[in-house]
A and B are shown apart, each in its own frame.
Chain A
């Protein structure tokens, strides 16, 4: 059991999990630093929840080891590891009041009654549930139940807090409010948070690092800006947000620059962005510039495209374009800029600095 108040580190070493012939996790290795906010991100069935349950001790890995602060915890049962956990649907004790729910982990640890009272009171204050202490969970709103679940999981100051899609049942506004609250609780407690979600914007907004899963494999792990700006494969690139993918022919690498033919233009990316033998150039819509009628810009990459559709989204406007060869291009612009540009009917030059593009391999499978 971790010391009270001390955040713990976790190390996952070569963990696999098979259910019969189905391989839910395949040789996962990653380190979770003390006090980190790591998000396990992926579509349903990607293995992220299985890994969380293995970290919690509810599932045993078929292969591999788990370490916490360099101690092997693979065989420790969940009740001994005793990490705080917030479940999808909250899993509150329906027969206990808010207060008793939050006091439960302390009672289990035989904390002195006066101390229980003090810490439960403190926690209720912290999550803003003053006045609801005596209510049963069924009498609370979704957001309030969520707060009880967080308070219950944090009141005994666990070394690690595990959260399994805690916001999936909340509407958008409440969701954003709770995200801010979880972020604040992370900063205040300094505990290691491991958070599971399938929502990429949630992952990018909350985490210090994001681990992206697909088909039971770890696709990439890194800071939010790293995985978003420098995805290592097509799955990561597409899962984290809209991205343009341009297939390149006749790939060459010379003097620090990789280049390939897209339709009738040679496009370049920095050689270090050329990942493996890939032949797809990936570029985010917000990195693209657009110009009407002018000759092709001299520096950087440029391709010719005709406008298909305009999607006004308030602050930004998305332009859907099509190249001469029929490849779709999406581009986002500040709405003010888009209005003046659209005066002229096109065709347009799409351009971007060479260092913004990435060359991608096909996804690992």
Chain B
């Protein structure tokens, strides 16, 4: 087969994927864009409302704050797990791998209710804290931002492990040996060589977690208990409770633009590992 023919065959194989993306994402997205400029009347009024409505603005700010905290927590945790998975003893590797994969088998809903059971005022943690006399009144661990952050971090952490582990696997062992041979103790090798050399994996993981977190719906809806509403939940409320389709659509489009911008900046300047080769 000539190169040209091979190229054409490759295109043919791609067609189903392109069609799927167009049907499942492209067309609905343009539908949403259309609502945002036609509901209830034609124009950009909904986008103007976005920048002025104090509720919408506060939800955007809260969403970014929660996502930032979740990203930091998930990436730090994932770094430690990835380290064990890639560089641990065979036993540590097996345990780490098991712990990374198991969460993927459990639905997001189940996990959110699991956290509810643990964190609620009569949940396991509060009961235990009270029984040892550490606190007299139950702590508010859920139906607030704290609960949302715990649940989201837990859900997103495994996704952060993969790009970090990939960066760690690509690292040439000889560079670490060189650092030790030059007299650096293990902690020094870790902080001055290992961490900087895996930074691209960390950035890749951070991007995945942050973007994923921006659109979270189930976890904040259950663990936030309506008190720490995030963008996705607000979109849902606008569309299905206030029947304010235009604003909901405008929020969706704005969110997508922000995510796209962030991703573009990151790819342009930082070349995160595990996402680009």
A83 at the interface (CB under 8 A from B): yes
B95 at the interface (CB under 8 A from A): no
A93 at the interface (CB under 8 A from B): yes
- Distance of A304 from chain B, by nearest CB (Å): 55
- Which chain A residue has the least Cβ–Cβ distance from B196? A95
B69 at the interface (CB under 8 A from A): no
Stretch at the interface among A84-92, A122-130, A256-264, A341-349: A84-92
B122 at the interface (CB under 8 A from A): no
B133 at the interface (CB under 8 A from A): no
Indicate which residue in B175, B181, B185 contacts A93 across the interface (CB closer than 8 Å).
B175
Q: A58-B177, A87-B177, A94-B175 are in contact. List 20 more A-B contacts (CB 8 A).
A: A56-B181, A57-B181, A78-B180, A79-B180, A79-B183, A79-B186, A82-B183, A83-B181, A85-B178, A85-B182, A87-B178, A88-B174, A89-B172, A91-B175, A93-B178, A93-B179, A95-B197, A108-B184, A108-B188, A152-B178
A239 at the interface (CB under 8 A from B): no
- Which chain A residue has the least Cβ–Cβ distance from B195? A95
Interface-centre pick from B179, B181, B192 (highest chain A CB count, 10 A): B181
Interface size on A, residues (CB 8 A): 27
Given A79-B185, A108-B188, also A91-B172 (CB < 8 A):
yes
- Which chain B residue has the least Cβ–Cβ distance from A80? B183
B-binding residues in A (CB < 8 A): 1, 56-58, 77-79, 82-85, 87-89, 91-95, 104-105, 108-109, 152-153, 156, 162
- Which chain B residue has the least Cβ–Cβ distance from A89? B174
Tell me the complex Cα distance, A152–B197, Å: 19
- Which chain A residue has the least Cβ–Cβ distance from B173? A91
Interface string of B179-210 (1 = CB under 8 A from A): 11111111010001100110100000000000
A residues within 8 A CB of B180? 58, 77-79
Whether B177 and A153, one on each chain, are in contact in the complex, defined by CB atoms closer than 8 angstroms, is no
Tell me the complex Cα distance, A162–B174, Å: 14
Given A89-B172, A91-B172, also A82-B179 (CB < 8 A):
no
Whether B177 and A105, one on each chain, are in contact in the complex, defined by CB atoms closer than 8 angstroms, is no
- Which chain B residue has the least Cβ–Cβ distance from A152? B182
- Distance of A137 from chain B, by nearest CB (Å): 10
Whether A105 and B193, one on each chain, are in contact in the complex, defined by CB atoms closer than 8 angstroms, is no
- Which chain B residue has the least Cβ–Cβ distance from A81? B181
Given A87-B174, A91-B177, also A105-B196 (CB < 8 A):
no
Tell me the complex Cα distance, A173–B193, Å: 33
Tell me the dominant secondary structure on chain A's binding face: loop
Whether B181 and A85, one on each chain, are in contact in the complex, defined by CB atoms closer than 8 angstroms, is yes
What are 29 A-B residue pairs whose CB atoms fall within 8 Å in the complex? Answer: A1-B183, A57-B181, A58-B180, A58-B181, A78-B177, A78-B180, A78-B181, A79-B180, A79-B181, A79-B183, A79-B184, A79-B185, A83-B181, A85-B178, A87-B178, A89-B172, A91-B174, A91-B178, A93-B193, A94-B175, A95-B196, A104-B182, A104-B184, A105-B183, A108-B182, A108-B183, A108-B185, A152-B182, A156-B182
A residues within 8 A CB of B184? 79, 104-105, 108
Tell me the complex Cα distance, A205–B146, Å: 69
- Distance of A174 from chain B, by nearest CB (Å): 21
Whether B183 and A109, one on each chain, are in contact in the complex, defined by CB atoms closer than 8 angstroms, is yes
Kindly list the 5 A-B residue pairs having the minimum CB-CB distance in the complex, ordered from nearest. Answer: A105-B182, A91-B178, A91-B174, A85-B181, A82-B183
B residues within 8 A CB of A78? 177, 180-181
A residues within 8 A CB of B183? 1, 79, 82, 105, 108-109, 156
Tell me the complex Cα distance, A87–B173, Å: 11
A residues within 8 A CB of B179? 93, 104
Interface-centre pick from A1, A93, A109, A156 (highest chain B CB count, 10 A): A93
Tell me the complex Cα distance, A209–B255, Å: 70
Tell me the complex Cα distance, A29–B199, Å: 44
Whether A153 and B182, one on each chain, are in contact in the complex, defined by CB atoms closer than 8 angstroms, is yes
- Which chain B residue has the least Cβ–Cβ distance from A87? B174
Tell me the complex Cα distance, A211–B268, Å: 52
Tell me the complex Cα distance, A109–B192, Å: 14
- Distance of B203 from chain A, by nearest CB (Å): 13
- Distance of B191 from chain A, by nearest CB (Å): 12
B residues within 8 A CB of A91? 172, 174-175, 177-178
- Distance of A54 from chain B, by nearest CB (Å): 13
Tell me the complex Cα distance, A84–B177, Å: 11
Tell me the complex Cα distance, A84–B183, Å: 9
A residues within 8 A CB of B182? 82, 84-85, 104-105, 108, 152-153, 156
- Which chain A residue has the least Cβ–Cβ distance from B178? A91
